[in-house]
Amino acid sequence: MPESRWESLCRQHSITVDHCEHAILITELTCAIGNGIRQLLQQLNDRAVSLTACVQYDLALQDAAIMREMAPRSCLGYLRACNVYSSQGRQWAVIDMCNQGLAAVAHDDPGYHQLQAIMDDAKEITSRRVDFLSKLPLDIVACNLTPRIMDSIMPFNSNKRSPLFYVSRAWHQRILQVTDGLTFYAKTSNIETLTEGHHHLLRFSPFVTRLDVHGKVNGLASFCARQGGPSLCDLFTRGNFTKLTTLNIQVDGGSKILFPTRLKSALEMLGSRLRHLSIIRNKDYSTSHGCSVNLSDIVSCCDNLVSLTIERIPLTLSSNIECTEMRHLRIIQEPPRITSQNGLITMLTMFPFLTFLAINPSLEPSILAQIYYHCPLLEQLVYWDSDRPCRDTPTATTTTTSNNISRRICVANHQLNLTMESIALCMIQYADSLGSFEYQGMFSDNGDDRLALTMLAFGSFTTLRVISFNDVDASCIPFLLWVIQHAPHIQSITLHDPAMDALVIDAIIHLEHVHTLNLKTHDPRTLLPFMKHHVRLGNRSTLRHIQVSTTNTMCNALWFREMANLQNLESFELCIPKRILDTFAPFFEQMARGCENLKSLKLVADETADGSSMPTIETCVIEALMSFHNLNRLTLHASIISDSSLVFLAKMNNLRHLELRINRFIDPITMRRLRSAIHTVVIEPWRPQ
């Protein structure tokens, strides 16, 4: 270690013979300086002891740092810092300081051995574990402790040790005893790790029930493409994956995708144990490289599959092998797709007991009618003919019918491949159990198609409760009218511009059971008759829930203001881009008077398309909410809501649940006022809708 500036002051200097008369004086003064420095060190040490006793740890550590700077080879500064850290309970800081001291202090210094002893004591303290888990009843561990731990830390990294399993052997065994299985993810950017890495995964392989494999460019794609080299087989051979039931493989876009015998060999090792399989390539439609996944090979290797997802990877069939366990099938393909009707029918005959089917492989309208005959137990059908996203999860809860099956159909027709008649025939096939229908897209301007639709001999959809027409244009209006006219028991309606035609609104007025309305619009003047109709009904109105996504200019629209007079309204949600202005305050004051049964209110200030401003809700709007006397649930989403606005919420007498999504720190005093006045307060970071 180099000499410090303070130490250089104590070094004796060589004096030439010509100045020997001053040599004695220089020596005496140098000794005096050294004694002064040693005295200063001792005084700093004594002061640090007193500061530690007064719990002034930061000041004591400052003195210890000065001591180490003045005398880096002295043990005094290191020992004093260790004492302070020990008083704070910072044993790892003690160990780090001891390591620094042992590297600087001479071995023959008495303090060297003191530092060693202090470090050994600190290591012993840090190695102590309190094993309460093995002493608790098994049901408490299984129902209370383990779910909270696992939900926050799973999935585990295959290459990184999780501290959860390295507390003690008893803790380790108890955790594994009560869990349903472990979830791991394995990144394969370097394919050589399949033969050498992932040690944490392999150690717990007998307990792994789900494995997510993420392959980067030249990672998973490479080992799938090679004729030789590492593969998933190597990973499965090194471990004992006896409980693995779910395997998810995901490949980055831009990779060369090849799944010849290599994937088949890996699946053969899992065999009938595998219940859920997904093979996904991230979005990249540039090329398919002439490669494909063979569906028959997958089914033959894993005959107990319950769910299968294949996305953006070409699919082939080599034989018709029936898989009676399959219930959930999701096939999303990039061009080229399975375009022949026979190819799709062959695929469907392999899975006679499907309850969920999401596909986009066919361009033939008649294929919709064929699905009914080959999948008689189907409960959800999601069918779209383009690469635009289409939700494959239900948008609303449907009513269960008398035969305990409420079916859902979701169709997207952005490429004009389907006709009104083909979709209508598909719906008619499920007429006795269809509970929800959702449509996206458009139709070609074909008069013959509309005529065929009106000529269909059909009674009514007696079980249809939920309809949604989202991302549509005016060409869908005849079809929407046909659906409404044949579904007298509709309860929930989602309409987006321009589906709000006057004829459509008039048809909805005649529906007697509508209780939920979801609107996304900019200028729906046609809605005024509908709103006035339900206002006139008074407490006989069935309308209970309204969700509106619109603009700030709508606050003065007649149809919008009429919503404030719906007597039976129970929940209202308003989504406005950029900010909810103070011009909405009179509307909410009127709603508090006219909607006395309102129990739930949600206000969302969403992000603008260009992200140029921070969404906010004006203080006047928040203050107006104090007029609601029966409101018990309030949700506010905005990037910025001031503390002065939040204080008003604490004055709402019956408010029991408050959910805030904001991107700012709430003053502790304001937070205490909210939590003391409201039973449940949930704070989450704001994010765009």
In terms of phi and psi (left: phi > 0; alpha: psi -120 to 50; beta: otherwise), the region of 250 is beta
* 356: three-class secondary structure by DSSP: strand
Q: Which residue has the tokens 């550590």?
A: 61
pLDDT tens digits, residue range 81-105? 999 998 888 888 999 999 999 988 8
pLDDT tens digits, residue range 462-495? 999 999 998 888 889 999 999 999 999 999 999 9
Q: Does 79 share its domain with 221?
A: no
CATH (domain of 81): 1.25.40.10
Q: Does 103 share its domain with 198?
A: no
CA torsion, ordered 310, 314, 319, 325, to nearest 10 deg: 10
Q: Does 113 share its domain with 250?
A: no
Distance CA 406, CA 8 (A): 89
CATH (domain of 594): 3.80.10.10
Q: Is residue 186 part of a domain?
A: yes
Q: Does 199 share its domain with 107?
A: no
**Residue of 120, 126, 127 whose CA lies nearest to 92:** 126
Q: Does 108 share its domain with 240?
A: no
For residues 478 and 450, the answer to whether their CB atoms sit within 8 Å is yes
Q: Is residue 592 part of a domain?
A: yes
Q: What is each CA distance from 433 to 53, 402, 419, 554, in whole angstroms?
A: 78, 9, 22, 39
Looking at 303, 336, 369, the residue that finishes a domain is 336
For residues 406 and 526, the answer to whether their CB atoms sit within 8 Å is no
Distance CA 465, CA 515 (A): 10
**Which residue type, as a one-letter code, is found at position 321?**
I
Q: Does 223 share its domain with 331?
A: yes
For residues 433 and 405, the answer to whether their CB atoms sit within 8 Å is yes
Burial (0-12, 13-18, 19+ Cβ within 10 Å), 375? buried
Positive or negative, the Cα torsion across 560, 564, 566, 569?
positive
Looking at 126, 159, 191, the residue that finishes a domain is 126
* Residue 111 lies in domain: 5-126
Q: What is each CA distance from 166 to 153, 182, 185, 200, 332, in whole angstroms?
A: 14, 15, 19, 11, 42
Q: Does 103 share its domain with 193?
A: no
Q: Does 122 share its domain with 257?
A: no
Q: Is residue 486 part of a domain?
A: no
Q: Is residue 666 part of a domain?
A: yes
Crossing angle of helices 420-429 and 447-454, rounded to 10°: 20
Question: Any idea what the Cα angle at residue 335 is, between residues 329 and 341, rounded to 5°?
Answer: 60
Q: What is the pLDDT of residue 363?
A: 59
Q: Is residue 13 part of a domain?
A: yes
Q: Is residue 250 part of a domain?
A: yes
Q: Which helix (H) or strand (E) holds 381?
A: strand 380-384
In terms of phi and psi (left: phi > 0; alpha: psi -120 to 50; beta: otherwise), the region of 632 is alpha
Looking at 336, 358, 392, the residue that finishes a domain is 336
Q: Does 113 share its domain with 202?
A: no
* 237: three-class secondary structure by DSSP: helix
Q: Does 190 share its domain with 80?
A: no
Does residue 230 have a cis bond before it (omega within 30 degrees)? no
Strand (E) positions, 497-649? Answer: 516-520, 545-549, 571-577, 579-580, 600-606, 616-617, 633-637
**Residue of 92, 83, 94 whose CA lies nearest to 53:** 83
Q: Does 118 share its domain with 192?
A: no
Counting as low any pLDDT under 70, the low residues of the chain are: 1-25, 128-134, 142, 151-152, 167-168, 178, 189-193, 216-230, 252-261, 283-292, 334-341, 361-364, 385-404, 445-448, 450-451, 455, 608-614, 686-689
Q: What is the pLDDT of residue 337?
A: 58
Tell me how many domains the chain contains: 3
Q: Does 193 share its domain with 118?
A: no
Residues near 630 by beta carbon (within 8 Å), at least 6 away in sequence:
596, 597, 598, 599, 654
Q: Is residue 376 part of a domain?
A: no
3-class DSSP string for 192-229: CHHHHCCHHHHHCHHHEEEEEEEECCCCHHHHHHCCCC
Q: Is residue 367 part of a domain?
A: no
